[in-house]
């Protein structure tokens, strides 16, 4: 029998859902949000928990727990990734689903917010086991997913491969192929050019826009990035191409620091050859995971997981700019400290919206059966992000609030107004 663990003592504001609610409350107060709408928006419209028994390669049967939360579908079909991680919890997925609602509203795409997850450790599973699990999850969510209802996408621990299995399982059940049911697919299966690097590209665009406001140039700007997966590695590469000096990177194996700058394409190749890990990366000195946050750099980009910047390490941050590639990397307990230190934060719901923008483009192309060029995709997504950045920055200045609260204000106002027009009561 597994050993019971005693619960760790955690600050409630370090719980992702509480952190999200704290900012939601603050923004709602700023705009004196109507109480009925407040109560409506604070609860997800649907919460699904499923049990997924699958056979493992050794012949045994194991049951996994899967979740899908639809936070809102008032702006359109709900949209959000699926996370495979051993630490996935209902509260985490609830927070991630709400962030999707705010994110889609800020960048002005006609989607509501959702998120899914399966509590599993994909690194310890074979491809066959992951395929069976993905198909079981899709089957369990057959009535939830749909090209005009709820459209999943990749998140941590999933990618084009899982999205292809999901699309195939959905097609089998419906007797016809429906590409638009999921985004982030392989290009051959209706995927979109530029989708893989889209979130990292958006992080790069947001970083450049913020540096501009700080009257700083990207050339020789020093950057530390936590997380070297899809978002972190592409953001690193694109920023390096624009003259940025990436001095530290990290992943689950540890953090690596080289004040002269790390050769990012070489690091990406290393990860590819090293089973997806930076372990033993020799071109930089190994430092502790925590030390990455207090390095003397201009820009800090958390691009791994939630609550890595808390009241315990916020004081040690030396960066002038934080660009949140990950969802929820800063706990609400750290907001005040960061604000008082004068650090500019580009919040997650703006900084990492490049992924959902290009997912939206994929969905449009699937619906009309026509492919856009990479140039068109980049041009349009860059424009949408720059416009959203400008709007959030302006609101922050006008209302004298952080960019995070400004982003929540804009998103909540839009969703609340839509509810009022639709009169869904």
Please identify, among the stretches 10-18, 118-126, 168-176, 222-230, the one whose residues bind ligand NAD according to the rule CB under 6 A: 222-230
Please identify, among the stretches 51-59, 217-225, 297-305, 411-419, the one whose residues bind ligand NAD according to the rule CB under 6 A: 297-305
Three-state SS string over the chain comes to: CCCCCCCCCCCHHHCHHHHHHHHHHHHHHHCCCCHHHHHHHHCCCEEEEEEEEEECCCCCEEEEEEEEEEEECCCCCEEEEEEEECCCCHHHHHHHHHHHHHHHHHCCCCCEEEEEEEECCHHHCCHHHHHHHHHHHHHHCCCCCECCCEEEEECCCCCHHHHHHHHHHHHHHHCCCCHHHCCCCCHHHCCCCCHHHHHHHHHHHHHHHHHHHCCCCCCCCEEEEECCCHHHHHHHHHHHHCCCEEEEEEECCEEEECCCCCCHHHHHHHHHHCCCCCCCCCCCEEECCHHHHHCCCCEEEECCCCCCECCCCHHHCCCCEEECCCCCCECHHHHHHHHHCCCEEECHHHHCCHHHHHHHHHHHHHHHCCCCCHHHHHHHHHHHHHHHHHHHHHHHHHHCCCHHHHHHHHHHHHHHHHHHHHCCC
Residue 390, number of CB atoms within 10 A of its CB: 12
**Min separation Cβ 231 and ligand NAD, Å:** 4
Q: Is 252 in the site for ligand NAD (CB under 6 A)?
A: yes
Binding residues among 304-343 for ligand NAD as defined by CB under 6 A: 304-305, 325-327
Please identify, among the stretches 207-215, 301-309, 365-373, 378-386, the one whose residues bind ligand NAD according to the rule CB under 6 A: 301-309
Binds ligand NAD by CB under 6 A, chosen from 31, 37, 216, 289 = 289
Closest CB to ligand NAD among residues 135, 234: 234
Q: Is 152 in the site for ligand NAD (CB under 6 A)?
A: no
Residue 349, number of CB atoms within 10 A of its CB: 31
Question: Which token pair is 92?
Answer: 């985490």
**Min separation Cβ 49 and ligand NAD, Å:** 20
**Min separation Cβ 370 and ligand NAD, Å:** 23
| Residue closest to 167 by CA, chosen among 219, 158, 318 | 158
Q: Is 199 in the site for ligand NAD (CB under 6 A)?
A: yes
Q: Is 109 exposed, middle or buried (0-12, 13-18, 19+ CB in 10 A)?
A: buried
**Min separation Cβ 175 and ligand NAD, Å:** 30
Closest CB to ligand NAD among residues 141, 308: 308
Closest CB to ligand NAD among residues 303, 396: 303
Closest CB to ligand NAD among residues 86, 173: 86
The contact pattern for ligand NAD, residues 108-147, with x = CB under 6 A and - = no contact, is ----------------------------------------
Q: Is 156 in the site for ligand NAD (CB under 6 A)?
A: yes
Q: Is 362 in the site for ligand NAD (CB under 6 A)?
A: no
Binds ligand NAD by CB under 6 A, chosen from 129, 155, 362, 382 = 155
Residues in contact with 368: Cβ distance below 8 Å, sequence separation at least 6, in sequence order: none
Binds ligand NAD by CB under 6 A, chosen from 303, 385, 401, 416 = 303
Closest CB to ligand NAD among residues 73, 330: 330
Binds ligand NAD by CB under 6 A, chosen from 101, 183, 352, 365 = 352
Please identify, among the stretches 41-49, 106-114, 245-253, 335-343, the one whose residues bind ligand NAD according to the rule CB under 6 A: 245-253
Q: Is 107 in the site for ligand NAD (CB under 6 A)?
A: no
Number of residue whose CB is nearest ligand NAD = 229
Q: Which of 79, 94, 103, 115 is an active site residue?
A: 115
For ligand NAD (CB under 6 A), the number of binding residues is 24
Q: Please compute, for residue 150, the number of CA atoms within 13 A of its CA located in the half-sphere on the CB side.
A: 27
Q: Is 157 in the site for ligand NAD (CB under 6 A)?
A: yes
Please identify, among the stretches 9-17, 151-159, 214-222, 368-376, the one whose residues bind ligand NAD according to the rule CB under 6 A: 151-159
**Min separation Cβ 354 and ligand NAD, Å:** 8
Q: Are 286 and 255 in contact (CB under 8 A)?
A: yes
341 has catalytic annotation: no
Residues contributing to the site for ligand NAD (CB under 6 A)? 154-157, 199, 226-232, 250-252, 289, 303-305, 325-327, 352, 355
Task: List, by residue number, the catalytic residues.
Answer: 115
């Amino acid at each position: 029998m597994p050993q019971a663990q005693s619960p760790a003592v955690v600050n409630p504001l370090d719980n992702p859902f509480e952190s999200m609610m704290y900012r939601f409350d603050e923004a709602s107060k700023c705009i004196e949000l109507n109480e009925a709408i407040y109560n409506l928006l604070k609860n997800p419209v649907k919460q699904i928990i499923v049990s997924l028994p699958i056979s493992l390669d050794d012949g045994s049967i194991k049951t996994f727990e899967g979740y899908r939360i639809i936070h809102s579908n008032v702006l359109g079909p709900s949209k959000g990734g699926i996370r495979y991680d051993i630490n996935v919890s209902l509260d985490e997925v609830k927070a991630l689903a709400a962030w999707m609602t705010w994110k889609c509203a800020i960048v002005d795409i006609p989607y509501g917010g959702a998120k899914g997850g399966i509590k599993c450790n994909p690194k310890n599973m074979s491809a066959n086991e992951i395929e069976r699990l993905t198909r079981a999850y899709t089957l369990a969510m057959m009535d939830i997913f749909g090209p005009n209802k709820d459209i999943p996408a990749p998140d941590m621990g999933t990618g084009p491969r899982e999205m292809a299995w999901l699309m195939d399982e959905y097609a089998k059940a419906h007797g016809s192929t429906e590409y638009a049911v999921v985004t982030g697919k392989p290009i051959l299966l209706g995927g979109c050019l530029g989708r893989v690097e889209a979130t990292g590209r958006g992080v790069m665009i947001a970083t450049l826009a913020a540096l501009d406001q700080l009257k700083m140039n990207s050339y020789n700007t020093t950057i530390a990035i936590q997380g070297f997966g899809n978002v972190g590695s592409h953001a690193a590469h694109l920023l390096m191409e624009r003259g940025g000096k990436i001095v530290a990177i990290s992943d689950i194996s540890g953090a690596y620091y080289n004040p002269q700058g790390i050769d990012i394409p070489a690091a990406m190749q290393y990860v590819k050859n090293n089973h997806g890990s930076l372990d033993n990366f020799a071109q930089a000195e190994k430092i502790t995971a925590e030390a990455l946050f207090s390095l003397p750099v201009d820009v800090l980009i958390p691009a791994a997981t939630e609550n890595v910047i808390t009241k315990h390490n916020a004081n040690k941050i030396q960066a002038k700019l934080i660009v949140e590639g990950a969802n929820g990397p800063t706990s609400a307990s750290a907001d005040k400290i960061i604000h008082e230190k004068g650090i500019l934060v580009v919040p997650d719901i703006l900084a990492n919206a490049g992924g959902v923008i290009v997912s939206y483009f994929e969905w449009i192309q699937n619906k009309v059966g026509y492919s856009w060029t990479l140039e068109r995709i980049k041009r349009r997504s860059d424009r949408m992000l720059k416009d959203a950045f400008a709007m959030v920055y302006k609101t922050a200045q006008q209302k004298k609030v952080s960019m995070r609260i400004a982003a929540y204000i804009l998103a909540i106002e839009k969703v609340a107004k839509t509810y009022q027009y639709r009169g869904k009561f």
